[in-house]
Amino acid sequence: MDFELYSIVFIVTAGAIGLVMIGWIYFWLNRQDAGTDKMKEFAHYIQLGANAFLRREFITIVPFIVVLAIVLLLAMPEHNWQTALGFITGAAFSLLAIFIGMNAATRANVRTTNAARSSVGKALTIAFRGGSVMGLSIVTFNMFGILLLMWIFGININNPSGINMLAGFGFGASLSALFAQLGGGIYTKAADIGADLVGKVEEGVPEDDPRNAAVIADLVGDNVGDCAGRGADLFESGADNVITTMIVAASPIFFAKYGWTGVLFPLIARAIGILATIIGIFIVQGRDDRSPIHSVNLGFFTTAVTCLILFYITARWLMEDVGLFWAQVLGMVGAVAVVIVVQYYTGYHGKPVRETARYAQSGAAVGILQGFAYGLESTVWAKYILGIIILLSYFIGGGGIMGIYYIAAATMGIKEMKGIIMAGDTFGPIADNAAGISEMSGLGEKTRAAGDALDAVGNVTKALAKGYAMSAATMGSMVILFAYLFEVARLRGLELTSIDDFMVNLVNPPNVAGLFAGVAMPYLFSAQTLRAVNKGAHQVIEEVRRQFREIPNLLIGQATPDYARCVDLTTKNALQKMITPTIVSMIIPIIVGFTLGPWALAAYLIGVKASSAALSKAMFNTGGTLDNAKKLIEAGAFGGKGSKAHAAAVAGDTFGDPLKDTAGPSLHILVKLQNIMSITLLPLYIKYGLNLFQ
Amino acid sequence: MDFELYSIVFIVTAGAIGLVMIGWIYFWLNRQDAGTDKMKEFAHYIQLGANAFLRREFITIVPFIVVLAIVLLLAMPEHNWQTALGFITGAAFSLLAIFIGMNAATRANVRTTNAARSSVGKALTIAFRGGSVMGLSIVTFNMFGILLLMWIFGININNPSGINMLAGFGFGASLSALFAQLGGGIYTKAADIGADLVGKVEEGVPEDDPRNAAVIADLVGDNVGDCAGRGADLFESGADNVITTMIVAASPIFFAKYGWTGVLFPLIARAIGILATIIGIFIVQGRDDRSPIHSVNLGFFTTAVTCLILFYITARWLMEDVGLFWAQVLGMVGAVAVVIVVQYYTGYHGKPVRETARYAQSGAAVGILQGFAYGLESTVWAKYILGIIILLSYFIGGGGIMGIYYIAAATMGIKEMKGIIMAGDTFGPIADNAAGISEMSGLGEKTRAAGDALDAVGNVTKALAKGYAMSAATMGSMVILFAYLFEVARLRGLELTSIDDFMVNLVNPPNVAGLFAGVAMPYLFSAQTLRAVNKGAHQVIEEVRRQFREIPNLLIGQATPDYARCVDLTTKNALQKMITPTIVSMIIPIIVGFTLGPWALAAYLIGVKASSAALSKAMFNTGGTLDNAKKLIEAGAFGGKGSKAHAAAVAGDTFGDPLKDTAGPSLHILVKLQNIMSITLLPLYIKYGLNLFQ
C-alpha cells in the first residue's frame, strides 16, 4: 500500500512538473521578440493556415469519433461504457496535445528567425524549446489520460483486473493519430511538391519566394505535417506502449511474479522519461562560442544518462530484477545502432548518398533507381538489428514466456527518450519555417547563414528521430502483439504456462491467409496515400500556374498572390483523401477477425507488422537518400546547381518526399491502430465471430 | 503393378512425343527463309552475342555447381551421393533446356522478320513455334530428369521411400535458374537502359537504330534475359513443384489415402500438360484473314480445355477423388483472375495507365510516383485472390491436414499450363527481336506494321505469362513449404495427425526473428540486383557516348559501331554482379537453419514467401504500368511523342524496366531456391544445428 502511494505520488508529481514546464516554456516563448512587421505578417499567415487546418481536421474527425464511440457503447459485450469513454478520452487528449504543441511551434518559428538576426545560439535555444512543448505535451497528456481513466474505472492495487478497459484510450489515440498523420502528411507534401514544381522548375523562382502562391501552404505544411502529424503519431505510440505493457503485466503469469509493481512499472518509466526530458531540454542552451550541434547532443546525452540511472534504481530496488535494466540498455543500444544505419544510408558522408548523386548524372530515372535500391537495402540492416535485440532481450529473460516482459522493458528503454527526441524532431519544421520567414522577409545573408547552421542541426535531429521512430515502432508493435495474445488467452480462458500455448500456427491455411492479407495491407495503404499526395500536388500546380498567368505583375514581384486559396485547396484535398485509407485500414482487420477468428487475426497483425516495418524503412530511407543527394549536388558536387544532375536530383527528391513524409510515417500508425483496435474489439470477435476454416 | 506400368508408359510416351515435337519444330524453323544478307548478318550478331553470353554464363556457374556438389557429397548425413547427383542433374538439365530453347528463339527472330514482309499470319506462326521450343523443352526435360533419377535411385511402387532424394534435383535447377535469371536480367536491362538513354534521349537516334553501339547488346538481352532467364525460372518452378508434391504425397498420412498413385500424380499431370501444350501449339496457326490475337487465344483456350478434360478423367477414375479436379479448376480460375488484375493495372485501357500518363505531364517524379502507387496497390488484389484460392481449396479438402493435397492440386492446375504460357512468353522477345532486325535492315513501313501487330499480341501473352507466373509462384511456394514441413516431421520422427503438429508458432521470438529476417530478404536482394543494372547501364552509356565521340562519321551513318564491345562489357558486368546476390541468398537461410533451428527456418521461409509475393507483384506492375503509360503517350495521348509528358514517361519506363524484368522475376526464384535448398540441407540442420533459444 505504501508502495502504491509513493509510486502514484512520484508519477503525478513528475506529470505536474511536466505541465508546469509546458506552461513556463510557452510563456517564455511568447516573451521573445517576433521581429519586424513584415515577419509578423508572414508568421501570422502561417499560424492562421495551420490553425485553420487543424480546426477543420478536428471537425472532420469528430463525427467518426462520436459514431464509433456509440457503436462501442452499444456493441461491446463487456465494459462497454468504459471502452467508449476511453476511446473518446484518447482521441481528445491526443488532439489537445498536438494542438498545444503545434501552437507553440508556430510561435517559435518567427522568434527563431528574429533571434537568428543577432545570434545563432539564441535562435537554437528558441527553436529547441519551441519543439520541446510538443515533446512534453505528448508524454505528459498521455500519462495523465491513462491515470484519469484508471481513477474513473477504479483500477488500483486492490482491484488490478480490468486493465484491458484502457485499450479504448489507445484506440482513440491511434485513430486520431492516423487522421492527423495522413491529413498532415498529404497536406505537407502536396504543397511542397506543388510549390517546387511550378516555382523552382517552371518559373525559375527560388524556394520560399513570396511570389509563389503555394509558399505559405508549404510552410503551413511543415507545421501540420511534420509537427502535428508526427506529434499525434508519438502520442499514440506512447499510449499504446504503456497500456499494452500494463495488459501484459496484469496477466496472471506476470502478476504472480511482479505483482502490482509490474503493472505500474510502465507509468513509472514514463515519469522517469518526463523528468529526464526536462533536464535535457534545459541543458540545450545555444551559445555562439560552441557549435549548435554540440549543445543539442549534450541535451540528448544527459537525458539518456539520467534515464539509465533512474531506470537502474527502479529495476534494482523496485522491481528487484536487474535483468530489466539490461534489457532496457539493449533497447537503447539497438535504437542507436539503427540511427547509425539511417545516418549511413541518408547522410552526406555515406556512399549511398554520393553514389545516388553520381548516378543522377545519367538522368532522373537512373538516380531514383539508385536511391530506391539503397532504401530497399537499408531496411535489412535495421530489421536484423531489431531482430537480434528482440532475441537477446528474450534470452536475458531466460527464454520462454517470461522473456516477453524483457522485450517490453527493452521497448521502454527506447520509448523513455520520446520526449526529447520529439523536441528535436519538432525543431526541424520550426527551423524550416524560420528559414522560410527569413527568406520571404528578405533578411539577407547573415540570417541565412544562421538558418543554414540550424538546418544542419535539424538534419541530425531528424535522422535521430527517424531511427528512433523505426526502432520504437518495430519493438512496440511486438509488445502490442503480446498484449493482444494475452487478451485472447484471457477471453478464451486459456491457462498459460508456455509460449506455445499461443497457437498462431503459421502452417494452418487460415493463418496463412491472414498473414498474406496482412503483408499486402501496407502496400494498399501506401498506394492510397501516395496517390492522394499526387492529386493534391496536381491541384496546387494548376492553381499556382493560374495565378502566375492571371494576376498581373506577379512574376515581377509587384503584386501579392492569393496564398489563402492554395492553403484552402490543399486543406480540402488532404482532409478528403485521409478518409478512405483510414476506413479501409479499419475494415480489413475487422473482416479477418469476424470471419477467420482471433488466431488468424494475430497472423494478420504479424503480417502487417513485418511488412510495414520493411516497407516503411525502405520508404523513409529512399526519401532521405534522394533528399540529401540533391543537397549534395546543390553544395557543388557533380556539376552543382543548375546542372543536368541537379535537375535529375530534384526529380528524385520530389519522388522521395512523399515516401518519407507521408506514406512511411503513416505506416507506423497503421500497424498500431490495427493492433490496438483488434485488442479493443476482441470481445466482439470472440462472441460473434464465425471462426471459418478453424 | 499394372497401374504403375500403365502410368509410366503414359508419362514416358508423352515425354517422347514432346521430344519429337521439339526436334520437328526446330527443323521446321530452320527450313524457313531467313531473308536478305543484311538481315542474316544482324541475326548472326545477335546469335553470336547470345550464345557467347550463355557459354560464359555456364562457365561461371560450373565451379559453383561442382564445389557445392562436393560439399553435399561430403557433408550430407544421409543420401549423400544421391543428393549430389540430383543436384548436378538438375543444374545440367536446366541449362540444356534453356540452351535449346534460346537457340530456337535466335533462329526464329529473323525468320519472323522475313515472313512479316509478306504475311502477318505466317510471321505469327513462326514466332509462336519459335517460342514453343522453349515451352516444350522446359516441361519435357524437367519430367525426364526426375524420371531418370527415380530410375537410378530405384524409387518405385515397391520402394516408395526416398522421394526426398529428389530435392537435390530441384536445388540444382533452382541455383542455375537464379544465376540465369539474374545474369540475363541484369544484362538485358543494363543494355536496354544504356541504349535508350544515350540513343533516344541524348543523340536523338531512334530505337533499334544501327548507329547505336548498344543496339545489338539490347537485342541479345531480349534473348538471354526474357527468354533464357524466364525459361530457367519456369524449369525450376516446374521441377520444384513436381518434386515437392511428390514429397508431400509420399508422407505417411497421404500415402495411406492415395498410395503410390498419389506420388505419381504430379508426373501424370505434367504428362497431361505436355500433350495439351502440343495440341495448343498446333492450333496457333496465324492467318491473314483473322486477327493474330484470336489465333493465340484459341491455342491457349484449347490447351486449357484439354487439360481440364484429362485432369477430370485422372481425378475421377485414377485418384478416385473428384475434389482434386475442383481444386484444379479453382487454381485455374485464380490464375485467370490474377491475369485480369494485371491487365487492369498495366493494360492500355485501364485507369492506372491512363492516370499515370496524365500525371507524367507534371514531370518524371510525379509520373513515376503515380505508377509506383498503382503498382503497390495491384499487389493487394492479387494476394487476396490467391489467399482466397488457398482457403477454398483447403476447404474443398475438408480443412485439416488432408486439405494440403488439394492446395497442391490447385497449384497443378496452374502449372499444367506452363508449356503453352512459356511459348507465349518467349513469343515476346522473338517479336521484339524481329522488329529490331526489321528496323536495322531498313525493311520499311509494311513490315513495321506487321511488327506492331505482333507486338500487340506479345503484350497480351506477356501479361498472361506474368499473371500466371505470380499465381504459380505464390501457390507453388505454399506446396514447397509443406514439403519442407513434412521433411522436418519425417527427420524428427513426428507422428502427424493434425496440422497443429507442425509447430511454426509465430509467437515464439526465434520464429519472429526468422520471420523478420525472411521479410527483409527480398529487399536486400532487389537492392543488389537494381544496383547491378544501374552499374551496367552506366558502363554502356559511357561506351556508347565514347563511340559516338571517337568513331568518325558514326552519327551520320557512314561507319559501323563496335557492337561487340558493348556486348562484352554488358556480359562481364552481368556475370560479375549475379554472384553476390546468389551467395547472400544462400548464406542467410543457412545461418538461420544452423542457429535458430528448423521451425525458425520455416518462419523465415514463410516471411520470404509473403514478402516476395508482395514486393515482386508491386515491382512487376509498377514496371508494366509505366511501360504502357509511355506507349499510350507515344500513341498520341497527352501531347504524344516529343512532348514534356513523353520525356517524363520515358524516364518512368527506365525506372520501371529493371523492376519488372530484373528484380521482380528474380524474387520468384529466390523464394524457391531458398525453400528447396532448405529441404535439401535439412538433415544437416537437424544433425548439427545449434537450436538456439528454442
CB contact under 8 A, B512 and A478: yes
* Encoded amino acid at B413, one letter: G
pLDDT digits (tens, 9 = 90+) for A170-211: 999 999 999 999 999 999 999 999 888 887 777 778 878 888
Which chain B residues are within 8 Å of A513, Cβ to Cβ? 387-388, 390-391
- For chain B, helix, strand, coil in percent to 5 are 85, 0, 15
Q: Strand locations in A98-156, DSSP E? A: none
Q: What are the cell numbers at A74?
A: 452499444
Rounded to 5°, the CA angle A227-A230-A232 comes to 105
* Encoded amino acid at B517, one letter: A
CB contact under 8 A, B524 and A387: no
Which chain A residues are within 8 Å of B356, Cβ to Cβ? none
Which site among A508, A585, A611 would you substitute to test the B interface, given the most B Cβ atoms closer than 10 Å to its Cβ? A508
pLDDT digits (tens, 9 = 90+) for A40-53: 999 999 999 999 99
Q: Give the dihedral sign, CA B157/B161/B167/B168.
A: negative
Alpha helices in B32-119 (DSSP H): 37-75, 80-116
CA distance B543 to B311: 54
* Nearest CB to A368; choose among B399, B538, B655: B655
pLDDT digits (tens, 9 = 90+) for A534-557: 999 989 988 998 998 899 888 888
DSSP tally for chain A: helices H, then strands E: 20, 0
**Tally of CB atoms within 10 A around B259:** 15
Q: Is the pLDDT of residue A15 over 90?
A: yes
Q: Which residue of B has its CA nearest to A398?
A: B693
CB contact under 8 A, A509 and B407: yes
Q: How far is the alpha carbon of A1 from chain B, nearest alpha carbon, in Å?
A: 35
Cα-Cα end-to-end distance for chain A: 46
CB contact under 8 A, B379 and A523: yes
* Nearest CB to B611; choose among A365, A513, A519: A519
The DSSP letter of residue B559 is S
In-domain check, residue B499: no
In-domain check, residue A694: no
DSSP-derived secondary structure for B473-501: HHHHHHHHHHHHHHHHHHHHTPPPSSGGG
CA distance B205 to B317: 63
Phi, psi at B657, each rounded to 5°: -55, -55
CB contact under 8 A, A513 and B399: no
Alpha helices in B347-402 (DSSP H): 351-359, 364-396
* Interface size between A and B, measured as CB pairs under 8 A: 263
Q: How far is the alpha carbon of B156 from chain A, nearest alpha carbon, in Å?
A: 30
Number of folded domains that form chain A = 1
The pLDDT of A6-35, averaged and rounded, is 94
Alpha helices in A397-417 (DSSP H): 403-415
CA distance B196 to B218: 9
Which chain A residues are within 8 Å of B541, Cβ to Cβ? 362
**SS3 track for A305-345:** HHHHHHHHHHHHHHCCCHHHHHHHHHHHHHHHHHHHHHHHH
Q: What are the cell numbers at A668?
A: 507506423
Q: How far is the alpha carbon of A588 from chain B, nearest alpha carbon, in Å?
A: 11
Q: How many residues does chain B have?
A: 694
Which chain A residues are within 8 Å of B375, Cβ to Cβ? 527
| A7 SS3 class | helix
Residue ranges in chain B whose pLDDT is less than 50: none
Phi, psi at B362, each rounded to 5°: -90, 10
**Residues ≥6 apart with Cβ < 8 Å to B132:** B25, B277, B281, B419, B420, B423, B426
Which chain A residues are within 8 Å of B519, Cβ to Cβ? 383, 519, 610-611, 613-614
Which chain B residues are within 8 Å of A655, Cβ to Cβ? 365, 368-369
CB contact under 8 A, A610 and B614: no
Q: Which residue has the cell 557516348?
A: B545
DSSP-derived secondary structure for B617-642: HHHHHHHHHHHHHHHHHHTTGGG-TT
CA distance A238 to A138: 8
Q: Are A390 and B548 in contact (CB under 8 A)?
A: no
CA distance B173 to B180: 10
Please compute, for residue A273, the number of CA atoms within 13 A of its CA located in the half-sphere on the CB side.
Answer: 30
Q: Are B247 and B167 in contact (CB under 8 A)?
A: yes
Q: Give the dihedral sign, CA A654/A657/A663/A664.
A: positive
* Nearest CB to B364; choose among A364, A390, A607: A364
Q: Which residue has the cell 473482416?
A: A591
Which chain B residues are within 8 Å of A530, Cβ to Cβ? 369-370, 372-373, 376
Which site among B359, B380, B406 would you substitute to test the A interface, given the most A Cβ atoms closer than 10 Å to its Cβ? B380
Contacts 24+ apart (CB under 8 A), B320-325: B321/B258, B323/B396, B323/B397, B323/B406, B324/B405, B324/B406, B324/B409, B325/B409
Domain that holds residue B620: 2-493+505-688
Q: How far is the alpha carbon of A68 from chain B, nearest alpha carbon, in Å?
A: 27
* Nearest CB to B655; choose among A365, A395, A541: A365
CB contact under 8 A, B380 and A521: yes
pLDDT digits (tens, 9 = 90+) for B535-593: 999 899 889 989 988 998 888 888 889 998 999 999 999 999 999 999 999 999 999 99
Q: Is the pLDDT of residue A1 over 60?
A: no
Range B481-515 burial, b when 16+ CB lie within 10 A, else e: bbbbbbbbbbbeeeebeebeebbbbbbbbbbbbbb
Which chain A residues are within 8 Å of B374, Cβ to Cβ? 527, 531
CB contact under 8 A, A512 and B359: no
Q: Which residue of A has its CA nearest to B384?
A: A517
Q: What is the pTM of this model?
A: 0.93
* Nearest CB to A395; choose among B516, B519, B693: B693
Which DSSP helix (H) or strand (E) runs through A157?
A: none
Q: Which residue has the cell 535492315?
A: B441
DSSP-derived secondary structure for A614-665: HHHHHHHHHHHHHHHHHHHHHTTGGG-TTSHHHHHHHHHHHHHHHIIIIIHH
CB contact under 8 A, B515 and A610: yes
In-domain check, residue B455: yes
Which chain A residues are within 8 Å of B614, Cβ to Cβ? 519-520, 523, 611
Q: What are the cell numbers at B380?
A: 493487394
pLDDT at B358: 94
Q: How far is the alpha carbon of B195 from chain A, nearest alpha carbon, in Å?
A: 12
CA distance A143 to A415: 13
Please compute, for residue A551, the number of CA atoms within 13 A of its CA located in the half-sphere on the CB side.
Answer: 19
In-domain check, residue B694: no
| A54 SS3 class | helix
Which site among A197, A202, A366 would you substitute to test the B interface, given the most B Cβ atoms closer than 10 Å to its Cβ? A366
Which pLDDT band holds residue A694 (cuts at 50, 70, 90)? low
Which chain B residues are within 8 Å of A520, Cβ to Cβ? 379-380, 383-384, 614
Q: How far is the alpha carbon of A200 from chain B, nearest alpha carbon, in Å?
A: 13
CB contact under 8 A, B651 and A386: no
Q: Is the pLDDT of residue A405 over 70?
A: yes
Q: Which residue has the cell 516554456?
A: A25
DSSP tally for chain B: helices H, then strands E: 20, 0
Task: Choose among B581, B615, B521: nearest CA to B182.
Answer: B581
**Tally of CB atoms within 10 A around B255:** 17
Task: Choose among B50, B442, B428: nearest CA to B211.
Answer: B442
- For residue B156, the cross-strand partners are B159
Q: Is the pLDDT of residue A407 over 80?
A: yes
Interface predicted TM-score (ipTM) of this complex, two decimals: 0.92
Q: How far is the alpha carbon of B33 from chain A, nearest alpha carbon, in Å?
A: 41
**SS3 track for B544-561:** HHHHHHHCCCCCCCCCCC
